[in-house]
């Protein structure tokens, strides 16, 4: 079943290629949606796909790239997929 989960990643996650690496991991696992920096220093993502694949991306997000230090990953919402056709980096909020 295709699902959607929105997450917020807290810690040292900006300026360390976090979004770019998330993009690569999500595409590799067949997950669609987006990732962006938030003005408060966090990273937000919307992940859509098979539940196992979405959860695998979230597991990766808890560790992130080598230079990051993730303190927390919060799941903000769970729902039905909206139908994103790719995964992208969107403009910071």
Residue 6 annotated to the active site: no
Q: Is the pLDDT of residue 6 over 90?
A: yes
Catalytic member of 4, 32, 37, 93: 37
Catalytic member of 6, 19, 27, 36: 19
Interval 33-82: pLDDT, tens:
999 999 999 999 999 999 999 999 999 999 999 999 999 999 999 998 88
C-alpha to C-alpha distance for 54 and 6, rounded to whole angstroms: 10
Task: Give the start-end residues of each E strand in 1-81.
Answer: 2-12, 32-37, 43-50, 69-80
Interval 8-22: pLDDT, tens:
999 999 999 999 999
Domain ranges of the chain: 2-84
The answer as to CATH 3.30.420.240 being correct for domain 2-84 is no
C-alpha to C-alpha distance for 31 and 10, rounded to whole angstroms: 21
Residue 37 annotated to the active site: yes
Backbone angles phi, psi at 22, to 5 degrees: -60, -40
């Amino acid at each position: 079943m295709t699902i959607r989960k929105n997450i917020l990643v807290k810690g040292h996650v900006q300026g360390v290629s976090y979004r770019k690496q998330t993009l690569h991991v999500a595409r590799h696992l067949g997950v669609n949606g987006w990732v962006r920096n938030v003005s408060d220093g966090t990273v937000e993502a919307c992940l859509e796909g098979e539940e196992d694949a979405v959860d695998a991306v979230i597991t990766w997000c808890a560790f992130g790239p080598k230079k990051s230090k993730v303190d927390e990953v919060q799941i903000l919402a769970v729902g039905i997929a909206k139908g994103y056709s790719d995964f992208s980096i969107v403009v910071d909020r």
